[in-house]
Structure 1
Amino acid sequence: METVTSLAATRYQPTEYEHAANCATHGFWILPSLVGGSVLYFLSVDQWHRVAAWLYGMGLTGLFVTSTLFHTAAWKISHLRKVEQRFHMCDRMAIYFFIAASYSPWLMLRELGPWACHMRWLIWVMACGGSTYVFFFHERYKLVELLGYVAMGAVPALVILSMVDRAGVCELATGGVFYVVGVVFFKSDGLVPFAHAIWHLFVAIGAGIHYYAIWRYLYLPGVIKVQLN
């Protein structure tokens, strides 16, 4: 309990307006992410497309839901340190599964090299490993957590580059740039007003670009092909 209290005490305490912005900037995207995942599911032309759409939709929606719940808890029940800490842990764990879910459509629906295909399941092992680390060492070694997210984002990207069909890679890179630049604001709480809310906006933009790429290059071609046949 002392560890939880001390960690909460050292963390930057947002203003009321910043709390509201933190909730709104991710809460707003919950419904669109549900709709977006459903659209991909109904555009699916086979079982693999449906599984990929389900995984991606759940990861995308889960990220915005857990983030909104945590920031709501940090705003309204911050005096319940242990409860807030549990929400914070879930928020951090959801990021690992969101990264895995974001890559899954590309890894499942594109032709990969003989060694690269193993990343389809390795990325979920990485997500489980990262979540286990958060469960046991949450907020103790922040640099290690940050490096874990960077590794989760970078390693599968190397596999994506091995694809024969590279359509959509430009959009993937662009979305990745938004995530990376957003980290600057993520680490600027207390230095830049509304820094965390700005980080949320960068995440939403990056996720939107990645969603467009998945819809445009992985799902739309299948629908067009079925219609032409």
Structure 2
Amino acid sequence: MVAKDFKRFMNHRAPANSRYKPTCYEHAANCYTHAFLIAPSIVGSALLHRMSDDRWEKITAWIYGMGLCTLFIVSTVFHIVTWKKSHLRTVEHCFHMCDRMVIYFFIAASYAPWLNLRELGPLASHMRWLIWLMAAGGTIYVFLYHENFQQWQVIAGDFESLWNFTNCGGAIDGKHVRIMPPSKSGSYYYNYKDFFSIILMAIVDTNYEFLFVEKIGRCQMAER
């Protein structure tokens, strides 16, 4: 009986290559738990900065405090957008990337007190800047590789679950857009439909949102 009562708080596991869709209870828990810690993190960061004795301690307190506050603020905004504005896929994806990025830099900031306020050997002292290079490297990896690959996996999973198309990365279509040709262009923009145009190509996902849009100016090239 108790197990059945708790089922409404969590959905079933998502199929392979598909995005898990949290329940309203999960969205609310994510938003409230992150938002609840914003004020304490700001107060704690201010106290750390105020209790610092020298300039180096103040800088370290500022680095750690900024990392902590930014983590909770960005995560709260991301979960609110995911919950209340999930139809804005571009905005949601942007904050999701920022949330991933902030986690990398918070990990680096959390090492700052240990590395900046202790006497380190000649080799260990290089960790003070190496952790920030690693955070930057992790961010670049997320932006260029991981998120893009994961996004295409989710899109392919949506096409399979909703439309029964396997290994589909998007629906593509094109259209001749009628134009007034530039002067002295001759038949450069003339198409087989007997009018001047450019070709607009687009790829959309399962929600009919644009993933890619391309304008092709020379119709002869597009028709080959």
Q: TM-score range by the shorter chain?
A: 0.5 to 0.7
- Higher Cα Rg: structure 1 or 2? 2
Residue 90 of structure 1, aligned match among 81, 86, 98: 98
Does structure 2 conserve the Cα–Cα contact (< 8 Å) formed by 1:89 and 1:138? no
How far the C-alpha of 1:139 sits from its partner, in A, is: 2.9
* 1:120 paired to 2:107: no
CA distance in 2, matches of 1:66, 1:138: 20
Q: Which amino acid is 2:73 matched to?
A: V
**1:132 aligned counterpart, secondary structure:** helix
Deviations 1:45-85 (A, max 9, x none): 11110000000000011111111111011001111111100
* 1:66 paired to 2:74: yes
**2:147 aligned counterpart, secondary structure:** coil
Does structure 2 conserve the Cα–Cα contact (< 8 Å) formed by 1:30 and 1:61? yes
CA distance in 2, matches of 1:20, 1:139: 25
Aligned twin of 2:39? 31
Does structure 2 conserve the Cα–Cα contact (< 8 Å) formed by 1:19 and 1:75? yes
**Higher share of residues assigned helix:** 1
How far the C-alpha of 1:17 sits from its partner, in A, is: 1.1
Aligned twin of 2:62? 54
Provide runs of 4+ in structure 1 moved above 2 Å. 137-142
Q: Which amino acid is 1:33 matched to?
A: S
Aligned twin of 1:15? 23
Which stretches in structure 1 are left out of the alignment for 5+ residues? 1-8, 143-229
CA distance in 2, matches of 1:136, 1:14: 26
CA distance in 2, matches of 1:27, 1:112: 37
Q: TM-score, normalised by structure 2?
A: 0.58
CA distance in 2, matches of 1:68, 1:138: 22
Deviations 1:70-120 (A, max 9, x none): 101100111111110000000000000000000001100011111000000
Please give the root-mean-square deviation of Cα atoms over the aligned residues, in Å. Answer: 1.4
Which stretches in structure 2 are left out of the alignment for 5+ residues? 1-16, 151-224
Deviations 1:138-166 (A, max 9, x none): 43567xxxxxxxxxxxxxxxxxxxxxxxx
Aligned twin of 1:139? 147
> Structure 1's 76 and 138: CA in aligned 2 closer, same or farther, altered over 3 A?
farther
CA distance in 2, matches of 1:90, 1:138: 14
* 1:43 paired to 2:51: yes
Higher relative contact order (CA 8 A, sep 6+): 1
Identical amino acids, percent of aligned pairs? 64
CA distance in 2, matches of 1:76, 1:136: 27
Q: Which amino acid is 2:34 matched to?
A: H
Residue 119 of structure 2, aligned match among 102, 111, 119: 111
